[in-house]
Structure 1
Amino acid sequence: MTDKKSVTLRFRASADEQKQIEAKAQLAGLTVSEYVRRVATGQPVTERLPAELRQVIVGVANNLNQLTRYAHLRQFDDQAINEILHQLKTALR
């Protein structure tokens, strides 16, 4: 269970450092406070993928699943497989 946050910590940083901290917190999808707490306490901080990249990855995964399904069913529809491969190549450019 998370303790109620009742203590305020303050520290000095340069304007550059502030921008870096804010940018990293935003990439991680966290508030600056949560980001600094996690970094200071050694908790994991991972960057979130941009929505566009997530969509590409999901599309690639779906295409790979379709190819796998065709292979398992031994249904080798050249046109469908070539279309999926084209979509994969386009997504990965």
Structure 2
Amino acid sequence: MTSIQKQNRKKGGRPPTGRIHKLSKSVTVKFSKPSYEALRLRARKANRKLAEYIRESALNGEVVSGHNAETIAIAKNLIGMANNLNQLTKLSHQRGFHETHVYVVDLLRRLKAILCEYRQASQTLKSNIDRKEATI
């Protein structure tokens, strides 16, 4: 066979995949047994391989954040105030309630204000999520 015949000869097999479609990166994800079985069942119902189903879900799915930065800041503030309340409780048990009464009343007032802010922020977040679901 000459070199010209070798060049004109048809190659067998699958055509090469383009660079865009080639899957070269991998991500390791761990699931609990019930979660894995639920995913496998969903993939089977969608008539897809498990890897294809997870890939499409990750790329096309919408992730809704549980909390925004504002509610996280309020929660951290609330946690700090709760720690202060615990410290004041311990102090009032040691020294007597009459000495710590002013601090406790002030802390309770601030805690109520933070709880009101947190409730308002969570209601705003919930109404935004409901609005998004209604438009879909």
Q: TM (normalized to structure 1)? A: 0.49
Q: Of the two, which has the highest radius of gyration?
A: 2
Q: TM (normalized to structure 2)? A: 0.35
